[in-house]
Structure 1
Amino acid sequence: MARPVTLFTGQWADLPFEELGRMTREFGYDGNELACWGDHFDVAKANSDPGYCAAKREQLDRYGLQCHAISNHLVGQAVCDIVDERHKSILPAHVWGDGKPDGVNKRAAEEMKATARAAQKFGIGVVNGFTGSSIWHLLYSFPPVPESMIEAGFQQFADRWNPILDVFAECGVRFALEVHPTEIAFDIHTARRALDAIGNREEFGFNFDPSHLIWQGIDPVEFIREFPDRIYHVHIKDAIVTLNGRSGILASHLNFGDPRRGWDFRSPGRGGVNFEEIVRALNFAKYQGPLSVEWEDSGMERTQGAREACEMLRKLDFSPSNVAFDAAFDR
């Protein structure tokens, strides 16, 4: 049986969910992965208003939409990050507060605990998000970076996220890190190290997104093969490398959408990701969760991209075979 095809609402948070819900159904999706910003999913209301979750479910039901995950990337980013003025634009006012970094880190951690409780009340088993990282800026080892500084970064991640994950465990909810530059895990080796840092606890896994891997030169299929039991959710997003001898893979301080960049995101099916092989790898890993389109393409109109991506996935996704192709020869 084909997996549910959903649309992540994070890139559509400028629209009220009532409007986006109608559009999601018109595009042909089975449901939404709700972002915890805009009016799409409100963590505070879910925890304080006894009727909020039922009302949100009724809103989804009105358009025949499922929901398998909620996402709180923006707040999660501030748990481990070295907080600066950039974070003010992505954080809720009550998390940003007076902007003093230590307080922001602590409030972000509390908000992620609240997100686990909200997911439980909403009947959702997965929260997607980011962790942030205190050591991302040490990526290029000059001045030379002693291993002790990297170890301290992973230890800080464990110290800050284990108490959050304790609440996830209490709520029966799993956290799925979207492995991504600026997070504690951004490739296969750092993902393994992050798991080791927290003792491989089951509450922590991954929101697999191939677009963040392919431009780094990492085969997304190898990530699935390395962590088959930790793929808790899947984003369908594409990217393309456009190196031309003038730009570099580090993007030259050029923003997304600038044609001079060495790589950029693309609407699914219009970049370099081999989604056919990803579906096969997910089948082998026995992943049965949703395929959630995270649409990001600065050069394409988003409603066309979202509709096209849904149609592509309908054609591409398939169930694994339950019989060997040559089984008839045994008769």
Structure 2
Amino acid sequence: MRTIKGPALFLAQFIGDTAPFDSWDGITRWAADCGYLGVQVPTNDPRMLDLDRAEASQDYRDEFLGTARANGVEVTELSTHLQGQLVAVHPAYDSAFDAFAPAALRGHPKARQEWAVDQVARAIRVSRLLGLDRMATFSGALAWPYLYPWPQRAPGLVETAFDTLALRWRPLLDLAEDRGVDICFEIHPGEDLHDGISFEMFLDRVNAHPRANMLYDPSHYVLQQLDYLQHIDIYHDRIRMFHVKDAEFNPTGRQGVYGGFQSWVNRAGRFRSPGDGQVDFGAVFSKLTQHDFDGWAVVEWECALKHPEDGAREGAAFVRDHIIRVTPHAFDDFAAAGIDRAALDRVLGL
């Protein structure tokens, strides 16, 4: 067993236009001041990381890592959530997801997808150049609009969607294998890979590719009413990242899983800051430790109620309190006695 690393913070929800959130130097200083030892870095904002420069320049990479370390944090992983989303977009979502791409590509789905694939590939290469061995992303979605269909789905629709999704990701998985980087899909509603079964459907189509792995976030499973602890037992060999985010599910006679088109604060299921929801993080950290998870515990702040800066500061302490420093010996070693083979035979009456 290994001790989980942390605490770390996913920066995506904190980047902004005012100091300290508008620069790499400022946001890493702030994260360290909150108590974090690491940061997970989105790759869609060049103020944090310019992918083109990072791939081309060792000096730029050294400066990027050096600034973080000088400020007291490590770079834990890169994230391509927004670019990964654009690898596969159903036309119903074209307008909404156009905002994730450069302005010149909006309204041009094929060019947008080609750009997204290039971005994910670039992030895989940059991850390796930075000494990182895993990258976070979304799978994108072609079948999601048909999750709960009426009228019923056409025969073969889901199979075709997953065949296509696998076809688009296979070259990226092969590149990741060449570079020694795991692609960690966040299993997330809105993505075709949104639960264990859908991940298995994808895994079957990429021939159980060793670089197709999971980002585990129990909050998404609370909202789906999925057993998030058993999920670790089933998929621990594929879980390579961990987001510490809480959630609560409080169904009423008026609404349940689907939320009745309400705002986040008024849904039956809503995200909360770590410790404020229903996730049993004591059990989650125990399960991951038991199964030898070797990554970082990364706080992702998404809360319908709490201010993000309060959530960040509290989250660092929350993770520190939940990380289990693994024992180097069994608790009953004190009672052990050296017994030779002859003594063992006598004990067993042999």
Instruction: Tell me the TM-score normalised to structure 1 length.
Output: 0.94
- 2:91 is equivalent to residue 85 of structure 1: no
User: Unpaired runs of 5+ in structure 2?
Assistant: 338-350
Bigger radius of gyration among the two: 2
What pairs up with 1:5-44 in 2 under 5 angstroms? 5-14=7-16, 15-16=21-22, 17-38=24-45, 39-44=47-52
Residue identity opposite 1:122 in structure 2: L
Q: Would the alpha carbon gap of residues 123 and 277 (structure 1) be closer, same or farther in structure 2, given more than 3 Å must change? A: same
Q: What secondary structure is seen at the aligned counterpart in 1 of 2:87?
A: helix
The Cα shift of 1:198 comes to 0.8
Q: What residue is the counterpart of 1:314 in the other structure?
A: 320
Give 1:26 shift: 0.8
Shift of residue 51, structure 1, vs aligned partner: 2.2
* Partner SS, residue 291 of structure 1: strand
Aligned match of 1:61: 69
Which residue among 270, 283, 290 is the counterpart of 1:284? 290
In the TM superposition, residue 115 of structure 1 has moved relative to its aligned partner by 1.2
Indicate yes or no: 2:276 matched with 1:266: no
CA-to-aligned-CA distance 1:250-297 (integer Å, 9 cap, x gap):
1222233x3x21211100110011101111110121002110000111
Write the distance in 2 (CA, Å) between the matches of 1:23 and 1:195.
39
Note the alpha carbon deviations across 1:172-228, whole angstroms, 9 max, x for none: 211100000121211111122221121111111011111111111112111111111
Q: 1:218 to 1:307 in 2, by over 3 A?
A: same
Is structure 2 residue 234 aligned with structure 1 residue 226? yes
Distance, in Å, in 1 between the alignment partners of 2:219 and 2:286 is: 17
Contact 2:25–2:71 (CA under 8 A) maintained in structure 1: no
2:214 is aligned to: 206
Aligned to 1:216: 224
Q: Secondary structure at the match of 2:224?
A: coil
Q: Secondary structure at the match of 1:128?
A: strand
Say if 2:29 and 2:72, in contact at 8 Å, map to a contact too. Answer: no
**Cα distance in structure 1, aligned partners of 2:53 and 2:263:** 35
Kindly indicate whether residue 188 of structure 2 is the aligned counterpart of residue 180 of structure 1.
yes
Letter in 2 for 1:11: Q
Report the AA paired with residue 96 of structure 2: R
Helix, strand or coil: the match of 2:136? strand
2:311 corresponds to 1:301? no
Please state how far the C-alpha of 1:330 moved relative to its aligned partner: 4.8
Structure 1 range deviating more: 141-150 or 2-11: 141-150
Partners of 1:10 and 1:37 within 8 A in 2: no
Output the aligned Cα RMSD.
Answer: 1.7
Q: Which is further off, 47-56 or 126-135? A: 47-56
Residues 222, 208 of structure 1: alpha-carbon distance in 2 compared, 3 angstrom cutoff: same
Report the more deviating stretch, 74-83 or 41-50.
41-50
Secondary structure of 1:68's counterpart equals strand
**Number of the residue aligned with 2:127:** 119
Gaps in structure 1 of 5+ consecutive residues: none
Cα distance per residue 1:46-88 (max 9 Å; x no partner): 1234422111011101212111211010010010121511112
- Structure 1 segment 250-265 matched on structure 2, within 5 A: 250-256=258-264, 258=265, 260-265=266-271
Q: Out of 137, 141, 147, which is 1:139 matched to?
A: 147
Q: 2:89–2:142: 8 Å Cα contact kept in structure 1?
A: yes
State the 1:320 CA deviation: 3.6
- The count of residues paired between Structure 1 and Structure 2 equals 327
SS in 1 for 2:241: strand
Structure 1 stretch 170-179 or stretch 46-55: which is displaced more?
Answer: 46-55
